[in-house]
A and B are shown apart, each in its own frame.
Chain A
């Protein structure tokens, strides 16, 4: 079946089997390997991407389901060649250890900050509760997301 999807702002088309999972479509067909594959059982959340701005686990959707829709993967976070606020914040606050969960954490953080620009620690922890960090580096992940919120607020007021 033909699937046409807007990925990080650019339209991409491919012919896929209905049983192809979205995560495999992203990684293999589109060769965007920033989206990771972890447990493959809907638990760990490392395969999270944004579907029309909303975080979803791409191991638990078929590629054919997203025909005509818009995806954002970690590769789409940078803006005009510059790191986005969330990427800068993860860099500054050292929001990663091994980095495996990082793309998903940044995407979930991005979606959270769209809804709630200044989340409390509890709100951030709630938002990322569907994403596992096997390094257990949650402290700095939470700090990074909050720092990105503060950074974006400064940009707005500046």
Chain B
């Protein structure tokens, strides 16, 4: 299968790339890992007249930390996150999700920021970021914008990234020693989209009460769904099995899955409840275990 013809642009500096985007942004798709974009181009679902390959731009491929955040650059591959001690220590939701993203070979090329910018409603990372709390850094010749992930994610395949902007980094909140997180995913086979995915994150206060909670769902709504009502329910409460069951019931009621080859809507809805409860329980175990 061949995509339509396109011009290939491979700048070697960020300034050069942003200049190209400022000039011809609407006609361009940015190529990072390409593991979603290239299949879409081959199926001619995407027909950009030019590709801007950012892989030759130095400085975008590191995982770091700043101001209480884990920072993941635009060229950080899924496998880099999976193997990073810093990522594993910094955010338990991220660490738990990394092995579930696609398959081991695709993970060598696919990027976290690319997944967020692409914003497939069945992508895992957006749920992780919505639950864990994150900010997306966007750069253009006009300067830099830092958007909360909640604002950045608009709808399926839609984000607030303008055509003259490049996602250069995502910044994820680091869990404290009293924090925990988890990603539950059911997939029919390795590399398939989630039948159901649930990302959870908890922070406890010094009395063991829930100071903050994050819950977001994959593949069971038109876009990755943050379940704010369940997050609010948990906040300020003493964690308990009954409370988590209630949060699961709220998440199950909030989602709107479709019946397809992966399962019936009723089955998926049931799983959302089970996974939410289970994910919160696992998050709590980590938070109470004091692992940092």
Query: Are A130 and B103 in contact, CB atoms less than 8 angstroms apart?
Result: yes
Q: What residues on A are CB-neighbors of B4 within 8 Å?
A: 19
Which residues of A32-74 have CB atoms within 8 Å of chain B's CB atoms? 40-43, 45, 48, 54-57, 60-62, 64-65, 67
Query: Are B105 and A108 in contact, CB atoms less than 8 angstroms apart?
Result: yes
A41 vs B1: C-alpha distance when bound (angstroms): 9
Query: Are A60 and B8 in contact, CB atoms less than 8 angstroms apart?
Result: no
A67 vs B108: C-alpha distance when bound (angstroms): 18
Query: Are B8 and A64 in contact, CB atoms less than 8 angstroms apart?
Result: yes
Residue B104, interface by CB 8 Å: yes
- B38: which of A43, A55, A61 is its contact (CB, 8 Å)? A61
- A56: which of B6, B7, B10, B105 is its contact (CB, 8 Å)? B105
- Minimum CB–CB distance from A133 to chain B (whole Å) comes to 13
Q: From A67, which residue of chain B is reached at the shortest CB distance?
A: B10
**What is the interface residue range for chain B against chain A?**
20 to 34
Which residues of B101-121 have CB atoms within 8 Å of chain A's CB atoms? 102-106, 108-109
Which residues of A1-46 have CB atoms within 8 Å of chain B's CB atoms? 1, 17-19, 21, 40-43, 45
Q: What residues on A are CB-neighbors of B190 within 8 Å?
A: 129-130
Contact with B along A125-154 (1 / 0, CB 8 A): 011111100000000000000000000000
**What is the interface residue range for chain A against chain B?**
20 to 34
A54 vs B78: C-alpha distance when bound (angstroms): 13
Given contacts A41-B39, A60-B34, A61-B109, contact A19 B6 (CB under 8 A): yes
Given contacts A19-B6, A129-B104, contact A43 B191 (CB under 8 A): yes
- Minimum CB–CB distance from B99 to chain A (whole Å) comes to 8
Q: What residues on A are CB-neighbors of B108 within 8 Å?
A: 54-56
Q: From A57, which residue of chain B is reached at the shortest CB distance?
A: B105
Q: What residues on A are CB-neighbors of B2 within 8 Å?
A: 19, 21
Query: Are A45 and B105 in contact, CB atoms less than 8 angstroms apart?
Result: yes
A67 vs B34: C-alpha distance when bound (angstroms): 16
30 of the cross-chain contacts (CB-CB < 8 Å) are A17-B5, A21-B42, A40-B1, A40-B42, A41-B42, A42-B35, A42-B38, A42-B106, A45-B103, A48-B105, A55-B104, A56-B105, A56-B108, A57-B105, A57-B109, A60-B38, A60-B109, A61-B38, A62-B8, A62-B34, A62-B38, A65-B34, A67-B10, A108-B104, A108-B105, A128-B104, A129-B103, A130-B102, A130-B103, A130-B191
Q: With A48-B105, A60-B39 given, can you name 13 additional A-B contacts, CB distance below 8 Å?
A: A1-B8, A18-B51, A19-B3, A41-B42, A42-B35, A42-B106, A43-B191, A54-B108, A60-B109, A64-B53, A126-B104, A127-B104, A128-B104
